[in-house]
Chains A and B, each alone.
Chain A
């Protein structure tokens, strides 16, 4: 079955550590996105990528980094510079940006700083 797989589902991080959230899709989509979800704030865009080896910052990129070395994969690293990383992180993909294509979402990763 085609879809987007995020792992792990739950992640615990100690303060000062970097962690990487995995996002893989087998939908052959060009565009991929990372959103952060906090209660009452909806989804805020962290980074997005329209094509392999290219990505752009979203509204809240500080303290995060990404890579897009393969079309199928778009991992997100939460660095120690991110002051409040506890949140629900959602990865999405769409056929291509700048179209009427909808986004398909993974099941999310809940990150907690301990």
Chain B
């Protein structure tokens, strides 16, 4: 069975500071990994995904994530936070032998002026 653990339910950063949201996964086969963002009372929007190939993945809005197999991690980063980045972020995992996508509990990002 696959699973995802997001470390830290709330993260607060100052505007212009580095954003780091942590995600660790568990999968018995090579995983497909995703980061989604959710604004209040809305659905989820894909930020980026890792399937195969390059382990550093760039997404929308200046976000990127690095797949580290040895650490079973897929942490999301952004060099400089904007106020508009305040939202909830979800890490998710799927694979070729699973029929569904599993999500973490989410991390709420607050950006202080």
Contact = CB atoms under 8 A, between A and B. Distances in A.
A102 interface: yes
A92 to B, nearest CB: 8
Nearest to A43: B103
A19 interface: no
Interface residues of B, number: 29
Given A43-B90, A56-B99, A108-B41, A102 B46 contact: yes
A98 interface: yes
A73 interface: no
Interface residues of A, number: 30
Interface centre among A42, A97, A105 (most CB of B within 10 A): A42
A40 interface: yes
* Chain A at the B interface: SS class: strand
A106 B90 contact: no
A92 B102 CA distance: 13
Nearest to B105: A42
Interface string B22-64: 0000000000101010000111111001011000000000000
A105 B45 contact: yes
Interface of A: 4, 6, 31, 33, 35, 40-43, 45, 48, 50, 56, 58, 88, 90, 92, 94, 97-100, 102-108, 110
Interface of B: 6, 9, 32, 34, 36, 41-46, 49, 51-52, 90, 92, 94-106
Given A100-B32, A100-B49, A102-B49, 14 more contacts: A4-B43, A45-B102, A50-B99, A90-B43, A97-B99, A98-B99, A99-B32, A102-B34, A102-B46, A103-B44, A103-B46, A105-B43, A107-B41, A107-B42
- Top-4 shortest CB links A-B: A105-B43, A100-B51, A42-B105, A43-B103
